[in-house]
Amino acid sequence: MSATWLDEIRWTDDGLVPVIAQQADTGKILMFAWMNRESLGLTVAEGYAVYWSRSRGKLWRKGEESGHRQKVTGLFLDCDEDVIVLKVEQESGIACHTGRESCFYRQLVKGHWQPVEPVLKDPETIYGKP
């Protein structure tokens, strides 16, 4: 596969691009993460989301611990060439490590961040640790 499409992306100074994962059938925003050239190339090659974990300094295959993988159905680059949207089919319907469908589960209500989405599965049962 030619890497020229990777060269069209405006990477940050540290070689990353922000990525928004969106549920393909509903359009719901599931999560935000980062990718580097290697993780984006692997995502395209494997058909499943592979991100770059800044906190761990390594590749992160979404669902490697939880089993909640993201099958990629489309990949889109914005007009400024510096943000990617992944259209995904979220396996098990849980994208967030808190056991919720989306990482964006808190809404500003009267000056306070309130959870507005239910926990679908206890994170301890997903990850086996507190």
DSSP string, 86-101: EEEEEGGG--STTSSS
Which domains, and CATH codes, for the chain? Answer: 4-127 (3.10.20.810)
At residue 51, the pLDDT reads 98
Please answer whether residues 62 and 47 qualify as being in contact, where contact means their C-beta atoms are separated by less than 8 angstroms. Answer: no
pLDDT tens digits, one per residue of 37-80: 999 999 999 999 999 999 999 999 999 999 999 999 999 999 99
> Distance of CA 109 to CAs 42, 112, 119, Å?
39, 5, 19
Q: Which residues contact 33 (CB under 8 A, 6 or more apart)?
A: 18, 19, 21, 51, 52, 60, 62
Q: How many residues does the chain have?
A: 130
pTM value? 0.91
pLDDT tens digits, one per residue of 68-126: 999 999 999 999 999 999 999 999 999 999 999 999 999 999 999 999 999 999 999 99
